[in-house]
Structure 1
Amino acid sequence: MNVSVIHLLSDSQVDDLLALYQKEWWSKGRTLTDVRTMLENSDLIFGLADDETGRLLGFARVITDMVYRAIIYDVIVDEELRGQNLGKRLMDAMMSDNVLASIASVELHCLPEMEAFYGKWGFAPNNSGTRPLRIRRGDAPIGHKASA
């Protein structure tokens, strides 16, 4: 299968992304309207598309100030295609991107079992003594554990 990295999603690829989200515990329940708004307000978009069909196979996005901080969100690969190095291809595309490479600190959140995967690109637990804090608003799923 030939796959290309894309930075803009077609309408059908937005539908593909929504379908990918519906299969994951952390993104199930997202709506098409919200996904379109999210895409419009993300600074960098990385998708993997099948060259033959155009179908979206993987996706990630970045929010950044373009100088000091960036955070990677929503790294996802179609579950039926996992184990075929598409996640590696997606991460390689992001980490070699000229804009992202120039940003001082790049972060992402992951489950402990994914730390080794992301460690291949230099990601490590934050040992600076700071911890991410969060306010949860609404019913949108943000994690697999209930918030207090």
Structure 2
Amino acid sequence: MKPEIIDHLSEKQIQELCQLFQSTWWAKGRKLPDVQRMLNHSDLIVALCHHSSRQLLGFSRILTDYVYRAILFDVVIRDNYRQQGLGKILMEAIINHPDLQEIEGLILFCQPEVIPFYQKWGFWGKSDRLEIMIRPAAETELLQEKAGSLMN
């Protein structure tokens, strides 16, 4: 199956994205109004949908200044479509996106077990000169947990 690459989500696909987020450790608990607001303020969206049913199969979003840096967030494939090459299709669409060709550096955060996947596209690991720092917006257990898991 060859999915369609899309750059905007329908209302139904936004609801599917919210459901898809619930299957992840980093986005579990995200609510529909917040996801809609997040999408409105994301610079680029690269997503995959089924060519006939339009079901959302994969998703990613990018925040960028279009010159120096772009940060890739929320790379996720629907559980029952994993191990079918969709992650590769999604990453190729991101790497080859016309708006990202002049960017000096594309950045992402990931867990150690998926580092080999991202290395296929030229991403490399931790720097001895840079450290990831996060300041939670509110002192809630959920934000502290998420910040702590990102730092580990």
**Which band: TM-score by shorter chain?**
over 0.9
Looking at structure 1, the residues matched to 137 and 8 of structure 2 have their Cα atoms a distance apart, in angstroms, of 29
CA distance in 1, matches of 2:71, 2:88: 18
Question: Partner of 1:115: helix, strand, or coil?
Answer: helix
- Equivalence for 1:64: 64
Q: CA deviation at 1:100?
A: 1.1
- Match of 1:19, SS? helix
- In structure 2, the residue matched to 1:131 is 131
Ranges in structure 2 where 5+ consecutive residues have no aligned partner:
none
Which sits farther off after the overlay, 123-132 or 15-24? 123-132
SS of the aligned residue for 2:118 comes to helix
The 5-angstrom pairing of residues 1-148 of structure 1 reads: 1-127=1-127, 129-138=129-138, 139-140=142-143, 142=146, 145=149
User: Could you tell me how far 1:146 is from its partner in structure 2?
Assistant: 8.7
AA partner of residue 95 (structure 1): I
For residues 108 and 16 of structure 1, the distance between their equivalents in structure 2, rounded to whole angstroms, comes to 23
Give the Å deviation of 1:132: 1.4
**TM-score (normalizing by structure 1):** 0.93
SS state at 1:132 partner: coil
Q: With structure 2 as the length reference, what TM-score do the two structures score?
A: 0.91
Which secondary structure state, in structure 2, belongs to the residue aligned with residue 127 of structure 1?
Answer: coil
In structure 2, what residue type is equivalent to 1:56?
L
CA shift for structure 1 position 133: 0.8
Q: Which amino acid aligns with 1:73?
A: F
Q: Which has the higher contact order (CA 8 A, sep 6+)?
A: 1
Moved more, 122-131 or 70-79: 122-131
Q: Is the 8 A contact 1:5 1:47 kept in 2?
A: yes
Query: 1:35-83: per-residue Cα shift (whole Å, max 9, x none)?
Result: 0000000000011000110000000000001100110000000011100
Does the CA contact (< 8 Å) of 2:134 and 2:147 recur in 1?
no
Q: How many residues in Structure 1 have an aligned counterpart in Structure 2?
A: 147
- Superposed displacement of residue 21, structure 1: 0.3
Structure 1 unmatched runs, 5+: none
Distance 2:99 2:63 in 1: 12
How many Å separate the matches in 2 of 1:97 and 1:127?
26
AA at the equivalent of 2:101: A
Q: Which runs of 4+ in 1 moved over 2 A?
A: 137-147
